[in-house]
Amino acid sequence: MAPNRKYANYPGAREAPTQVKTETQKEDQNPVLRGWPLVAGATALANSGVIQRFFWRNAKFGSIRDLPGLVDYRYRFQPDVLVLSETGSHPEPLALTKDLTTPAPQDQAGRYLSSADYQALYASGAVTPLDVVQSLLPLIRRAEGHPPPETGPYANAWVASHGREDLAIDAARASTERWKHGKTLGPLDGVPIGVKDDCDVKGYVSHNGMQYRPDLPWFKAADKTIWPVQQLEAAGAIVLGKNAMHELGGDTNGCNVSQEYGVSEDEIFVNPLVQ
C-alpha cells in the first residue's frame, strides 16, 4: 500500500518470491541441559568456533540470507526515506541573528557553550582552530601503536583513529588560515565535532562498536564521507574522530557499551578551552 504522504527514496511494493518448502517440520530433538552439563556446554560453546558454527546452522539462524529469491532485493543500512513537503515549498533557512552568534554572558544562569564561543575566541585571536584541535586530541586519544601514546582522560567516548589524527590537524590548519585572512565559511568554521562510529568519514574506520580486526575488509578505512558530514565539513566543522557506540547499535540505554571500548563518557566530555 502506498503511503498517504510523499517521501523520497520510499521503496516500492514488490511481490515476495515464491519459496518451495523442501523439508517437513520436525519436532525439536535438541537435549535439555541443566546444572553442570549446562556450564560445561556453555564453556565449550564460548571457546570453540567449530561448535558455534554448528549451533548456528542447527538453529537455522542464517537460513533467511540463503533464500535465492532475496538476491535481487536491495538491502539498506541507512534510514534514507525522507518526508517531502506537502506543498512542494521548503522553509526558509534559519537566519543567523545576533543572539545566535554572540556568546552568552559568563554570569548567565544555566549558561551553555556553543559554536559562538569558538567564533569569539577565533575572531579575537586568543586561540586558533589548530590550537583547539591540538589541545583536544590528547584528551580523546586511545593508546595504540608501538609504543602507544598515553590514553586521554576522555578516550572511552571515542574510538581509535588508527593513526589518522592528521585529518583533523590538516582541517584545523585550513580553518586557521581562513580565520587569519578573514575568509571564514560561517559559524561552524573551526568548530570541532565527533561523528558516531557507524557513520562513514573518509579516512576513518567505522567500527560500529565492534572489536577492531584489521585483517577483515569490514574494517578498512572509508573512502567516502556520508552526505550529512560532508555538509558539516563544507561549513568548516572539524571532525576530531569517531564517537563510541553500542556494538552494532544494539541497545538504547545511552551507556554506549561496546565490545571494543566498554562504557562511554561522551555525555560528560567538555572542551576545557571554552570553559
Are the CB atoms for 123 and 107 separated by under 8 Å?
A: no
- The verdict on residue 209 lying in a domain is yes
User: How open is the CA angle 60-63-69, to the nearest 5 degrees?
Assistant: 160
pLDDT, tens only, 214-264: 888 888 999 999 989 999 999 999 999 999 888 777 665 555 455 555 544
Give the best-scoring range by mean pLDDT among 62-66, 152-156, 203-207. 203-207
- The verdict on residue 131 lying in a domain is yes
Range of the domain at 146: 115-249
- The verdict on residue 45 lying in a domain is no
Are the CB atoms for 187 and 116 separated by under 8 Å?
A: yes
The rounded distance, in Å, linking the Cα atoms of 264 and 246 is 9
The size of the chain, in residues, is 275
The rounded distance, in Å, linking the Cα atoms of 83 and 248 is 26
Q: What confidence category does residue 76 fall into, taking pLDDT thresholds of 50, 70 and 90?
A: low
Q: In the prediction, which pLDDT does 130 show? A: 96
- The verdict on residue 104 lying in a domain is no
Give how far Cα 267 sits from Cα of 210, 212, 263, Å: 20, 23, 11
Give the best-scoring range by mean pLDDT among 6-15, 76-85, 113-122. 113-122
Average pLDDT value for residue range 172-197: 94
CA proximity to 204, closest of 221, 220, 229: 221
- The verdict on residue 205 lying in a domain is yes
- The verdict on residue 65 lying in a domain is no
| Number of domains present in the structure of the chain | 1
**How large is the angle between the packed helices 129-140 and 115-124, nearest 10 degrees?**
130
pLDDT value at 265 more than 50:
no
pTM exceeds 0.75: no
Please state, rounded to an integer, the average pLDDT across all residues of the chain.
80
- The verdict on residue 34 lying in a domain is no
Report the SS3 class of residue 192.
Answer: strand
pLDDT, tens only, 118-172: 998 999 999 999 999 999 999 998 876 545 557 888 888 898 888 899 999 999 9
pLDDT value at 178 more than 60:
yes
- The verdict on residue 268 lying in a domain is no
Q: Which residues contact 111 (CB under 8 A, 6 or more apart)?
A: 104, 105
